[in-house]
């Protein structure tokens, strides 16, 4: 089995994958969970150099150095945008792709405006309000207190510079929907049934664009956007079932 690289979302870091990494490692798999520049232990790139493409280059460097040049790659939300940029720039480095709680379209003008306002707010007041707003949107209707606390803890560790740069880069990201129609590798799409950010209908649209519906789509019950942390066992099972079908 090729190494598995899992790319975190915003504003999170590698720790969001604790459960998946442990589960897959216990089954003998080589799992790499990098921090993106500006998150976790990594320093931010200069603002004008921050983009989904620049993040993808960092992931590609890791795949070359730590995975022998090819891996199964999973991306959660913003990590999914990075995975799409990686698939466009270095398709040979991805043997199979797992899109988790993500989407392929670009921001609407309203979403972009919201990001710019949030950048202004973070610049002036720090990251607390952004984290509270996000926590209100990214969990299932009845989140468990422990998961909410852990997500908040990870978010609160991220620097304002990392958050601002990534927010700007996401606002400027391109639409990648056409990429799905061209991919000829196994695809997994995972979505929380209660995800209000990248909804089940977004996931269905992605599946329809992918190779005439050849992507495996798994909907996770009682989960919002943070499905890998809210319902880790169900997400782990979905990943394992997918990996068992791809034989890489
Ligand atoms: C994420 O979870 O990475 C973000 O919600 C992505 C986004 O803001 O588009």
In which order are the strands placed within the sheet that holds 216-220?
31-32, 4-7, 71-76, 94-100, 187-192, 216-220
Cα dist from 240 to 4, 100, 236, 247, whole Å:
11, 14, 6, 11
Partnered with residue 217 across adjacent β-strands are 189
- From the CB of 9, is ligand 1 less than 6 Å away? yes
Q: What is the rounded average pLDDT of the residues 89-93? A: 98
Tokens 């199979």: give the residue. Answer: 96
pLDDT value at residue 165:
98
pLDDT at 136 over 70: yes
Domains of the chain: 4-243 (3.40.50.1820)
Summarised one tens digit per residue, pLDDT across range 217-241 is 999 999 999 999 999 999 999 999 9
Banded pLDDT at 211 (limits 50, 70, 90): confident
In DSSP terms, 130 is beta-bridged to none
Q: Is 77 in the pocket of ligand 1 (CB under 6 A)?
A: yes
pLDDT at residue 214, as a whole number: 83
Distance of CA 80 to the CA centre of its chain: 4
Cβ atoms of 173 and 79 closer than 8 Å = no
Residues in the chain: 248
Number of the ligand 1 atom closest to the C-alpha atom of 115? 8
Contact 209, 177 (CB under 8 A): yes
CA of 121 to the centre of ligand 1 (A): 17
The per-residue pLDDT for 213 is 64
Compute, in angstroms, the gap from residue 65 CA to the centroid of ligand 1: 27
**Cα 127–Cα 129–Cα 130 angle in degrees, nearest 5:** 65
Atom of ligand 1 nearest to the CA of 101: 2
Atom of ligand 1 nearest to the CA of 102: 6
The overall average pLDDT reported for the chain is 96
Minimal-distance CA residue to ligand 1 atom 9: 78
- Please report the pLDDT score of residue 8 as a whole number: 98
pLDDT digits (tens, 9 = 90+) for 29-79: 999 999 999 999 999 999 999 999 999 999 999 999 999 999 999 999 999
Of the ranges 88-92, 106-110, 175-179, 244-248, which one carries the lowest mean pLDDT score? Answer: 244-248
**Residue 142 has what DSSP assignment?**
S
The reply to whether ligand 1 has any atom less than 6 angstroms from the CB of 197 is: yes
Percent of the chain with pLDDT over 70: 99
Please say whether the dihedral angle defined by the alpha carbons of residues 71, 76, 79 and 83, taken in this order, is positive or negative: positive
Planar angle of CA 48, 49, 52, nearest 5 degrees:
115
Taking a C-beta distance cutoff of 8 angstroms, is the pair 75, 83 a contact? yes
Q: Name the residue at shortest CA distance from atom 7 of ligand 1.
A: 78
Contact at 8 Å (CB) between 76 and 100?
A: yes
d(CA 204, CA 90): 26
Distance (Å) from CA 95 to ligand 1 centroid: 24
Our mutation pick for probing the ligand 1 site, out of 10, 12, 164, 169, counting the most ligand atoms within 8 A of Cβ, is 10
pTM over cut 0.75 = yes
């Amino acid at each position: 089995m090729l190494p598995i690289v899992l790319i975190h979302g915003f504003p999170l870091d590698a720790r969001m994958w604790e459960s998946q990494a442990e589960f897959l490692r216990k089954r003998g798999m080589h799992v790499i969970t990098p921090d993106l520049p500006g998150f976790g232990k990594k320093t931010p790139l200069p603002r004008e150099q921050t983009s989904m493409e620049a993040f993808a280059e960092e992931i590609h460097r890791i795949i070359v150095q730590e995975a022998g040049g090819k891996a199964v790659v999973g991306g959660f939300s913003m990590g999914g945008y990075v995975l799409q940029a990686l698939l466009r720039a270095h398709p040979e480095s991805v043997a199979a792709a797992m899109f988790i709680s993500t989407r392929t379209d670009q921001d609407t003008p309203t979403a972009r405006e919201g990001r710019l306002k949030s950048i202004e707010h973070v610049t002036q007041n720090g990251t607390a309000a952004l984290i509270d707003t996000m926590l209100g949107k990214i969990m299932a209707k009845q989140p468990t207190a422990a998961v909410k606390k852990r997500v908040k803890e990870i978010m609160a560790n991220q620097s304002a510079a990392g958050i601002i740069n990534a927010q700007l880069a996401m606002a400027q990201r391109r639409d990648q929907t056409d990429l799905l129609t061209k991919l000829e590798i196994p695809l997994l799409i995972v979505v929380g049934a209660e995800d209000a950010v990248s909804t089940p209908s977004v996931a269905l649209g992605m599946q329809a664009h992918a190779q005439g519906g050849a992507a495996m789509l798994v909907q996770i019950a009682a989960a919002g956007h943070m499905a890998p942390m809210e319902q880790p066992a169900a997400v782990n099972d979905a990943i394992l079932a997918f990996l068992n079908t791809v034989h890489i």
